[in-house]
A and B are shown apart, each in its own frame.
Chain A
C-alpha cells in the first residue's frame, strides 16, 4: 500500500477565494471519508463516499462546500468563497469496507 495521498499539504488563500483539495485513497479502497480538524480539537466527519456515490453529508458541510468522487477513485473537496472560519486541517481517509480507516497526511488550509 502506498497510503492515502493528499494534495496540497498546505494552502494559504485570501478570504473569498475558492480552493480545491485532492485525495487519492489506497488502491481498491471503495470507501472514502473527509474530516475537518480545527486547532485543539479532534477530527469531525464531513462526508462519506462509497465508490462514486456520496452517501452522507454532515451538517458541517455548508452550501459553500462540495465534494466529488467522479470515478470512484480520487476525490476532491472544494470550498467556495472561503472564510476565516474555514481555516483547519482537512483529512481524507479510506477503507476497504472494514471499520478501520487509513488517513492521509492532511491539507492544512489557512485563510487570511
Chain B
C-alpha cells in the first residue's frame, strides 16, 4: 500500500516569488510519482511525472520537481509564480510493481495562493 503526505495545506506567496510545495510518500514497492493541478470546479491536469531516469523532472508552466529516494520526497518548485498559478496542487504515486493497474494514491492537496 502507498500513502502520500503533503506537508502544507496552504501556501500563500507573492507574485514573482519562488515557491516549494512539499510531498513525502511511503510505499512497500517502487512507485511512479506525479504532480497534478486542479483549478476550481475542474478536473486534474498533469503537471509533471517521474517514471525513471533523471531525478529532476520538468513540467508544464515552468514547474519542476526532484525525486529523492532516500528521503522519499518529491517536492514541487517554481522559481517565479504568477497570479494564474493560484490553484490546488496534488502529489500522487502509483505502484511500479509490474502490474497493469496504475491506480493513483493522492495526498490531501496544497492550496497555492499567489497574491499581487
Contact = CB atoms under 8 A, between A and B. Distances in A.
Specify whether A and B are partners: yes
Interface of A: 4, 6, 31, 33, 35, 40-45, 48, 50, 55-56, 91, 93, 95, 97-106, 108
Contacts, number: 64
Contact of A45 (B45, B51, B100, B103): B103
Interface of A is mostly: strand
Interface string B14-34: 000000000000000000101
Nearest to A102: B46
B44 interface: yes
Interface of B: 4, 32, 34, 36, 41-46, 49, 51, 90, 92, 94, 96, 100-109
Nearest to A104: B43
Given A31-B102, A45-B103, A97-B100, A40 B46 contact: no
B46 A45 contact: no
A51 B16 CA distance: 45
